[in-house]
Structure 1
Amino acid sequence: MKLIQIYRIRTFVVPEYLDKVVHGVLAIDDLRYGNYKNVIWNSEGGIEQFVPSENSIPKEGTIGETTKVNSLKVEFSIPRDEELLAKIIEEGIYPHHPWDEPVVQVIEALESRKNS
């Protein structure tokens, strides 16, 4: 067993855009985890809430009004590589996500690898 430094990336997306975001990310990196690839977790059943501001371009909702939509949490990890991280966010997530300002969270962490 060994521990490797990774970025854990999390975003939230409406269900009908899940496959688009996943395919966008996988076009950049195959998301290997030990002997497996395309390793992504998603959790169903969340509600996303927001109020679009005057400068937003909302795909859902009305400027100045509270909007609530069903949302999925999507998570995956990559090696701690800043260039890869930027490419995944800028080319893999943003163009395939429906929101003009998607929430993308990045956490520095360690992950175990049994068979690496």
Structure 2
Amino acid sequence: MKMPELKTGRFIPEDGLRITVQVPETRAQRIVDAVLAVTALKYGDYDRVTFQAAAGKQSFRSLRSGRNRATGAAVQVPCVELSFFLARDDAGAARVLENIYAAHPYEEPVIYVAPCMRTLHIRGLDEDNPNRFWNSPSEDWVPEEHR
């Protein structure tokens, strides 16, 4: 898939990979820690940037060709989705995925790797924008350290 060419003075586009991992919620931090062991997940002026979706249900049926016995019907496991961006670096991406496999509790983890583009702000632009959280009374979601 060819990414669009975005030319603007407002942000810098950067090609990379979006990694999405489905994992039981109790194991999510292990996956994040495994990823952070090989990359800082830098996103512009920030690092350790990840997203975790609210818990949902992952469904599957074991065919018995793997380690687990066959299941007659699909079973469900409560899971979350973790996602993060990796700069386009094939060797680094392979190390990240290997660490996810090592930390994941499943034999066959559900991991999606998709090409994507992110946008990074140009430092110093638009800082007086009234929509920026620092230009208005603090809302509950603003971390205490930034109030």
CA distance in 2, matches of 1:45, 1:87: 27
- Which residue of structure 2 aligns with residue 31 of structure 1? 41
Helix, strand or coil for the counterpart of 2:55? Answer: strand
Q: Give the Å deviation of 1:95.
A: 0.7
Q: Which amino acid aligns with 2:116?
A: A
**Selected match of 1:86 from 94, 118, 142:** 94
- Regions of 4+ moved over 4 Å: none
Contact kept, 8 Å, 2:25 with 2:55, in 1: the verdict is no
Q: Give the Å deviation of 1:67.
A: 1.3
Helix, strand or coil for the counterpart of 1:101? Answer: coil
**Selected match of 2:60 from 35, 47, 50:** 50
**Selected match of 1:71 from 60, 76, 79:** 79
Contact kept, 8 Å, 1:30 with 1:38, in 2: the verdict is yes
CA distance in 2, matches of 1:23, 1:57: 26
CA distance in 2, matches of 1:57, 1:18: 22
Q: TM-score, normalised by structure 1?
A: 0.90
CA distance in 2, matches of 1:63, 1:96: 24
CA distance in 2, matches of 1:13, 1:115: 34
Q: TM-score, normalised by structure 2?
A: 0.72
CA distance in 2, matches of 1:56, 1:72: 23
CA distance in 2, matches of 1:30, 1:70: 28
CA distance in 1, matches of 2:26, 2:70: 22
- Which residue of structure 2 aligns with residue 2 of structure 1? 12
User: Per-residue displacement from partner, 1:17-60 (whole Å, max 9, x unpaired)?
Assistant: 111111000001000000000000010121000111212224xx
CA RMSD of aligned residues (A): 1.3
**Structure 1, gaps ≥5 residues long:** none
Contact kept, 8 Å, 1:35 with 1:115, in 2: the verdict is no
User: Per-residue displacement from partner, 1:41-94 (whole Å, max 9, x unpaired)?
Assistant: 010121000111212224xxx52232101000000001011111111001x200
CA distance in 2, matches of 1:98, 1:115: 40
